[in-house]
């Protein structure tokens, strides 16, 4: 006891002694009365605090049980390591030993998680009183953190090392253990889809041959609800309206190093849409104008996304017509005999609830306006729960936050709600180094520095460098996704590209910039308007090259205006089995500069699944036309070459070629078309290997030159000669990127074409 506290205790005992008659008053057996209290061992805790916890009144009878209760109250305060309550005649002695003070907190045995990460979940603090219960809670929090990283076998034990001055070092001894992998994921109750297909839907994956590199094959309990929702969305989007996950049974192995996870599901029947109608229960509102927005078709497979899309379109009409608080409720009637669902969109008057305000918390870097612009609702607008949910999904899709929660609560009145947005930011910048390999290009390297949320404004900035087989490029990009506060993307880039073409004896250099804006014109369609200016130079043409190339050598300035229209059905994903994409572009050069031409390209593709969604089929058609309307002919730097348009041939392997030149240069063409079809399917190997197979067939042509007078005055054949090839592919999904091995055999070609029977592509980020 310190001298100060000793004096206080003595003074308190003296006061009690003076206020109470000397000696103990006669009491019944096993009962006590005390005229004074003596406190021993207290160093930091005031006597008054100890007496308040003991709660023993002077001069009153106290039983032995009540003294025991006083002891337990003092121990339960969490302030003392030991407590003794001893009656000594008329004096009650309370002898305590205070808990020591935490000197430092250390972690031992941790290699996978650093000290800063562990300290973030520990509540014990230095220079605070040590509490065993809190230390144990901290040990459990550390174990949970390891479990979230897939190490369920981790063990954490709190230990103390006593120091002078009633201080201790708190040490957490950690045994991290191995990753608790998922050895097998199985399903019961599934008839429509195989286990293989359902495993592709889940976020959780099975451990495979690359288990040391894949993190999604570790068992994380927090991921199970997400997998359950993904399964539900998958089945319901394919017509199984009554699907549900009945149970999920994770079983750990005896060695506690792996899990077997089994999903017990009930598929139910597959439904199609039956009669679809719209009715209005609001006087003065005609249902016909809302029925026109219906996108649900009779006979189509049931899909909740189609219903949501129709409701969203109807709500837009209601806002445009000035109808506030209109609620569109879908009512479904099941016809079990023919397995159809009759759907009725009912227009009702919803409750008069307004959005009072939107509160945003947790964003330390990202500006409020970046989050607010994801809401189609502002303060004072009618409250629409569906729109709030959609806004939450848009916020999560930004990729700026590791967690984003959007909730509502009652405002200052029953007619108002407050929308709370709580986000947790994550790093959005990256420095990446990569490598690539192609049969024609060889090994290449690239580096890039990018920031997806520049200065917290939601802007994108990137600087990239790459080199491959004599080709070097550098590019700076900037993008503002909400230019002028609207859904209007502004893009700007500047570039420097040089090539040392291995397939033709000349070099090229391009230096310039481009700028444009992009905006939606429909649910799935976007339009881009752009301007591009560049200095395009052909240089170092050898004397052995075609005389056509020698005439084209030099640098010209290209100044062009262009546009692109893109349609992609994957934006709304209304059809889960089939996806369509279409792109048409035109660039008109001649707005200043030296080049006068019109470059038009078209691409249309479809992807669909068949055979219980085990086989993915793709088909594409692509075409292009370069029309030169000035006095000059087109140049090889602007014309089309093969690239990856027709597999089985080298990048400059087809098209017009000057056979009289010693180099037999490929000259490219002003027109091209290509048709590609392929199928990807499982090979029967364990799916955790990530290996699938494929077959493909390509056909097309590149033709037409403005200047056909080649070497020695011989005309170059620029006819539309068709080429075709077939082949097989092996796809291998690896942690370093998707690998594709193509083995091709040309079926129709010209004698001078250059074939490429094998091609390997890889793209990786370290």
Confidence label for 504 from pLDDT (cuts 50, 70 and 90): low
| pLDDT tens profile 165-175 | 888 999 999 99
Q: Give the 3-state secondary structure of 386-447.
A: HHHHHHHHHHHHCCCEEEEEEEEEECCCCCEEEEEEEEEECCCEEEEEEEEEECCCEEEEEE
Q: Which residue blocks in 561-606 are alpha helix, DSSP H?
A: none
Mean local confidence (pLDDT), 210-229 = 71
Q: Is the pLDDT of residue 695 over 70?
A: yes
Cα–Cα distance, 291 to 430 (Å, whole number): 48
pLDDT at position 112, please?
87
How many domains does the structure of the chain reveal?
6
Mean local confidence (pLDDT), 146-156 = 84
Do 191 and 168 belong to one domain?
A: no
Q: Which two tokens stand for residue 766?
A: 């370290």
Cα–Cα distance, 450 to 452 (Å, whole number): 7
pLDDT at position 734, please?
77
pLDDT at position 44, please?
75
pTM over 0.75? The answer is: yes
Do 110 and 250 belong to one domain?
A: no
Mean pLDDT across the chain, nearest whole number? Answer: 88
| pLDDT tens profile 623-633 | 999 999 988 89
For residue 486, report the phi and psi dihedrals to the nearest 5 degrees: -125, 170
471-479 LR contacts (CB < 8 Å, sep 24+): 471/441, 471/444, 471/497, 471/498, 471/499, 471/500, 472/497, 472/498, 473/497, 473/498
Do 452 and 360 belong to one domain?
A: no
Which of residues 408, 425, 442 is at a domain's end?
425
**Which residue has better confidence, 320 or 761?**
320
Q: Give the 3-state secondary structure of 281-292.
A: CCCCCCCHHHHC
Nearest to 251 by CA among 243, 240, 263, 239: 263
Cα–Cα distance, 317 to 326 (Å, whole number): 10
Mean local confidence (pLDDT), 678-688 = 89
Mean local confidence (pLDDT), 698-710 = 95
Which of residues 72, 98, 124 is at a domain's end?
98
**Over pLDDT 70: what percentage of the chain?**
92
Q: Which secondary-structure segment (H or E) carries 705?
A: none
Q: Is the pLDDT of residue 343 over 80?
A: yes
pLDDT at position 762, please?
66
pLDDT at position 30, please?
58
pLDDT at position 519, please?
96
Flag the least confident range among 6-15, 182-191, 272-281: 6-15
End-to-end CA distance of the chain: 62
Confidence label for 19 from pLDDT (cuts 50, 70 and 90): very low
Q: Is the pLDDT of residue 385 over 50?
A: yes
In order of 434, 474, 617, 660, 739, the CA distances from 762 in angstroms are 10, 21, 22, 37, 5
Which of residues 397, 425, 453 is at a domain's end?
425
**Cβ neighbours for 223, distance < 8 A, ≥ 6 positions apart:** 203, 204
Q: Is the pLDDT of residue 293 over 50?
A: yes
Cα–Cα distance, 166 to 97 (Å, whole number): 10
Q: Which two tokens stand for residue 152?
A: 């369920």
Confidence label for 9 from pLDDT (cuts 50, 70 and 90): very low
Do 703 and 685 belong to one domain?
A: yes
Q: Is the pLDDT of residue 246 over 50?
A: yes
Do 543 and 500 belong to one domain?
A: yes
pLDDT at position 12, please?
40
Confidence label for 735 from pLDDT (cuts 50, 70 and 90): low
pLDDT at position 10, please?
41
Do 9 and 122 belong to one domain?
A: no
Mean local confidence (pLDDT), 451-476 = 90
Do 117 and 143 belong to one domain?
A: yes
User: Do 421 and 368 form a contact (C-beta atoms < 8 A)?
Assistant: no
Cα–Cα distance, 58 to 21 (Å, whole number): 11
Do 247 and 314 belong to one domain?
A: no
> Where in the sequence is the domain holding 18, given as residue range(s)?
3-98
Do 81 and 187 belong to one domain?
A: no
> Which neighbouring-strand residues pair with 615?
610
pLDDT at position 425, please?
92
Q: Assign residue 17 the CATH number of its domain.
A: 3.10.20.310
Going across the sheet that includes 181-188, the strands are 181-188, 258-266, 244-252
Do 63 and 201 belong to one domain?
A: no
- What ranges make up the beta strands (E) of 521-661? 525-539, 554-568, 578-593, 597-610, 615-628
Q: Is the pLDDT of residue 561 over 80?
A: yes
Do 33 and 151 belong to one domain?
A: no
Q: Assign residue 512 the CATH number of its domain.
A: 2.40.160.50
Do 395 and 528 belong to one domain?
A: no
| pLDDT tens profile 34-81 | 878 888 877 777 788 888 888 787 777 788 888 888 888 888 887 787
Confidence label for 25 from pLDDT (cuts 50, 70 and 90): very low
**Over pLDDT 90: what percentage of the chain?**
59
DSSP string, 110-140: -SSS-HHHHHTT----TTSB--HHHHHHHHH
Q: Cα dihedral angle (649, 653, 654, 658), rounded to 10 degrees?
A: -160
């Amino acid at each position: 006891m310190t001298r100060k506290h000793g004096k206080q205790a003595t003074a308190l005992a003296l006061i009690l002694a003076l206020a109470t008659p000397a000696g103990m008053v006669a009491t019944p057996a096993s009962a006590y009365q005390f005229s004074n209290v003596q406190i021993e061992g207290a160093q930091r805790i005031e006597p008054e605090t100890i007496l308040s916890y003991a709660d023993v009144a002077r001069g009153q009878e106290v039983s032995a049980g009540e003294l025991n209760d006083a002891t337990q109250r003092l121990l339960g305060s969490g302030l003392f390591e030991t407590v003794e309550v001893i009656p000594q005649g008329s004096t009650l002695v309370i002898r305590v030993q205070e808990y020591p003070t935490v000197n430092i907190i250390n972690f031992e045995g941790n290699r996978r998680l650093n000290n800063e990460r562990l300290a973030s979940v520990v509540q014990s603090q230095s220079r605070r009183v040590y509490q065993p219960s809190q230390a144990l809670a901290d040990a459990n929090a550390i174990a949970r953190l390891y479990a979230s990283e897939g190490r369920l076998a981790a063990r954490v034990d709190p230990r103390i090392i006593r120091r002078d001055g009633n201080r201790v070092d708190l040490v957490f001894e950690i045994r991290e253990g191995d990753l608790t992998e998922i050895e097998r994921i199985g399903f019961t109750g599934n008839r429509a889809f195989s286990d293989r297909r359902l495993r592709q839907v889940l976020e959780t994956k099975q451990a495979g041959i690359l288990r040391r590199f894949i993190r999604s094959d570790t068992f994380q309990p927090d991921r199970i609800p997400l997998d359950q929702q993904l399964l539900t969305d998958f089945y319901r989007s394919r017509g199984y309206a009554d699907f549900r996950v009945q149970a999920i049974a994770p079983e750990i192995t005896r060695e506690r190093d792996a899990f077997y996870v089994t999903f017990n599901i009930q598929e139910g029947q597959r439904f199609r849409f039956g009669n679809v109608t719209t009715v209005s229960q609001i006087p003065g509102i005609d249902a016909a104008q809302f029925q026109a927005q219906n996108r649900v078709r009779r006979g189509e497979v049931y899909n909740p996304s189609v219903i949501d899309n129709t409701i969203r379109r109807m709500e837009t009409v209601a806002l445009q017509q000035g109808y506030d608080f209109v609620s569109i409720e879908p009512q479904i009637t099941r016809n079990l005999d023919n397995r159809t669902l009759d759907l009725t969109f009912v227009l009702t008057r919803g409750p008069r609830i307004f959005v009072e305000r939107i509160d945003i918390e947790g964003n330390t870097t990202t500006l409020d306006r970046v989050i607010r612009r994801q809401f189609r609702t502002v303060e004072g607008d009618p409250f629409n729960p569906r729109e709030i949910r959609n806004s939450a999904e848009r916020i999560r899709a930004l990729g700026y936050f590791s967690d984003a929660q959007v909730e509502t609560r009652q405002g200052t009145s029953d007619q108002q709600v407050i929308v709370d947005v709580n986000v947790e930011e994550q790093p959005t910048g990256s420095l990446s180094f990569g490598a690539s390999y192609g049969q024609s290009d060889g090994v290449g390297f690239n580096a890039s520095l990018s920031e997806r949320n520049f200065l917290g404004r939601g802007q994108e900035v990137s600087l990239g460098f790459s080199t491959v087989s004599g080709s070097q490029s550098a590019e700076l990009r900037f993008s503002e996704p909400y230019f002028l506060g609207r859904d209007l993307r502004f893009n700007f880039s500047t570039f420097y590209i040089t090539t040392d073409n291995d397939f033709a004896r000349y070099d090229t250099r391009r230096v310039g910039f481009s700028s444009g804006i992009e905006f939606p014109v429909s649910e799935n369609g976007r339009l881009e308007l752009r301007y591009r200016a560049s200095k395009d130079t052909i240089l170092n043409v050898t004397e052995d090259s075609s005389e056509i190339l020698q005439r084209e050598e030099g640098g010209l300035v290209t100044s062009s205006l262009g546009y692109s229209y893109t349609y992609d059905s994957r934006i709304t994903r209304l059809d889960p089995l089939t996806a369509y994409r279409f792109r048409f572009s035109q660039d008109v050069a001649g707005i200043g500069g030296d080049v006068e031409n019109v470059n038009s390209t078209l691409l249309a593709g479809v992807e669909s699944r068949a055979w219980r969604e085990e086989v993915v089929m793709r088909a594409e058609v692509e075409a292009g036309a370069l029309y030169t309307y000035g006095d000059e002919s087109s140049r090889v730097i602007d014309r089309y070459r093969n690239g990856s348009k027709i597999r089985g041939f080298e990048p400059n392997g087809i098209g017009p070629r000057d056979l009289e030149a010693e180099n037999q240069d490929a000259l490219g063409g002003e027109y091209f078309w290509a048709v590609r079809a392929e199928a990807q399917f499982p090979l029967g190997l364990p799916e955790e290997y990530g290996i699938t197979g494929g077959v493909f067939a390509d056909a097309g042509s590149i033709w037409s030159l403005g200047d056909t007078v080649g070497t020695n005055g011989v005309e170059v054949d620029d006819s539309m000669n068709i080429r075709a090839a077939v082949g097989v592919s092996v796809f291998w999904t690896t942690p370093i990127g998707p690998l594709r091995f193509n083995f091709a055999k040309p079926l129709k070609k010209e004698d001078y074409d250059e074939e490429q029977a094998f091609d390997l592509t890889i793209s990786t980020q370290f």
